Amino acid sequence: MEFSYEVKDSYAEVKAEGRLNMVSAPKLREFVTGVIANGSNRIVVNLENTAFMDSSGLGALIGCLKAARQAGGDLRIAAVQPQVKMVLQLTSMDKVLTAYGSAEEAFSND
Amino acid sequence: MTEVLASRSFRGLAAGDAIESVHNDLDSLWLDVPFVQDMDQMTFTTAVIESASNIVQHAEPAGQEPVELGVDIEVRPTLLQARVSAYHAKPPFGPMEPARPGEEAESGRGLALIQALVTTVTFERQDGTNTWVLSRTSQQD
């Protein structure tokens, strides 16, 4: 899985491309922790090119959400694909990790 | 038993790269059986990867030999079945019942997810091998 990020006006967009599984989950956690340490506490994880997520990947997203909130901000997810949406719904975590249609929409009403 | 239309087998050390290999096997398997609906492919792939990851993360060696992961998948006309095995492993510790993690928990959702994804899950232990058998009745067009 490949990660990249870009600081926008009111948030930092993290792009995750590939499979978010037990191998890449700790790397996502480390990457987002670094983004927060660089001064961004409003994070959007763009999952447009994340075709797969398992419970390890979900756990990493929850860990990143907690880290963003501890830094006084928030973490939101965007452009969720069908398999990721299914895992969020089956674990009832779609209520905790709200999915937005695009990265731009995630913090647009704040 | 009805005819096996396609199959894949993997065996290797229970480590992270094994998960990627099994996932690649599943992706190539679905190309052989395009009539299996997207929903069945998606749910079954997720269940197999969850089970295999559970072994890589939690299975402990019973003796000197390292734990090996085995995944054998068969596609039949209306049934998807996977045998996901931990070789040279101790019996699983504790009850194999899904946990009820809180909203903020970062782990503990795997077993409940597997049960939600497949029709049946059974566990067997034989000759030092733990095997989870995952079955999903697939839809036909």
Q: What tokens appear for A25 in the block? A: 């989950």
Q: Produce one character per residue of A52-89: b if its CB has 16 or more CB atoms within 10 Å, e if not.
A: bbbbbbbbbbbbbbebbeebebbbbbbbbeebbebbbe
Which of A19, A56, A86 is nearest residue B23 as measured by Cβ atoms? A19
Which of B16, B19, B107 is nearest residue A59 as measured by Cβ atoms? B107
How many angstroms separate the CA of residue B112 from the nearest CA in chain A? 8
Q: What is the pLDDT of residue B90?
A: 94
Q: What is the pLDDT of residue B106?
A: 85
| Domains annotated on chain A, with CATH | 2-103 (3.30.750.24)
Q: What is the pLDDT of residue B140?
A: 64
Residue numbers in B near A63 (CB within 8 A): 106
Q: What tokens appear for A22 in the block? A: 């037990």
Rounded to an integer, the average pLDDT of A69-87 is 97
| Amino acid letter, B105 | A
Beta-carbon contacts of residue B90 (< 8 Å; ≥ 6 apart): B59, B60, B61, B62
CB contact under 8 A, A60 and B106: yes
Asked, for residue B60, whether it belongs to a domain, the answer is yes
Q: What is the pLDDT of residue B129?
A: 95
Q: Is 90 exceeded by the pLDDT of residue A40?
A: yes
Q: Is 90 exceeded by the pLDDT of residue A54?
A: yes
Asked, for residue B40, whether it belongs to a domain, the answer is yes
Distance CA(B112)–CA(B130), nearest Å, equals: 19
Q: How many structural domains is chain B composed of?
A: 1
Q: How far is CA B71 from CA A12, A55, A66, A108, B74, in A?
A: 40, 19, 35, 45, 10
Q: What tokens appear for B9 in the block? A: 């087998």
CB contact under 8 A, B105 and A62: yes
Q: Is 70 exceeded by the pLDDT of residue A75?
A: yes
Which of B23, B46, B106 is nearest residue A87 as measured by Cβ atoms? B46
Asked, for residue B59, whether it belongs to a domain, the answer is yes
CATH, residue B17: 3.30.565.10
Distance CA(A2)–CA(A16), nearest Å, equals: 6
Beta-carbon contacts of residue A101 (< 8 Å; ≥ 6 apart): A78, A79
Give the residues of chain B that fall short of pLDDT 50.
Answer: none
Asked, for residue B66, whether it belongs to a domain, the answer is yes
Asked whether the beta carbons of B138 and B78 are under 8 A apart, the reply is yes
Q: What is the pLDDT of residue A107?
A: 94
**Reported confidence tier of residue A59, pLDDT bands at 50, 70, 90:** very high
Asked, for residue B1, whether it belongs to a domain, the answer is no
Best to test chain A binding among B41, B84, B107 (most A CBs inside 10 Å): B107
Using a CB–CB cutoff of 8 Å, tell me whether B70 touches chain A.
Answer: no
Per-window interface: B 10-69 vs A, CB < 8 A: 16-17, 19-20, 23, 38, 42-43, 45-46, 49-50, 53, 56-57
Q: What is the pLDDT of residue B139?
A: 73
Which residues does residue B87 pair with via DSSP β-bridges, in sequence order? B68
Range of B105's domain? 6-137
The length of chain A is 110
Distance CA(A106)–CA(A47), nearest Å, equals: 12
Asked, for residue B92, whether it belongs to a domain, the answer is yes
Q: Which of B99, B98, B100, B133 is nearest to B119 (CA)?
A: B133
Report the range of poorest mean pLDDT among A38-42, A85-89, A106-110, B80-84.
A106-110
> Which tops the pLDDT comparison, A54 or B98?
A54
B116: region left, alpha or beta (phi > 0 left; psi from -120 to 50 alpha): alpha
**Mean confidence (pLDDT) of chain A:** 96
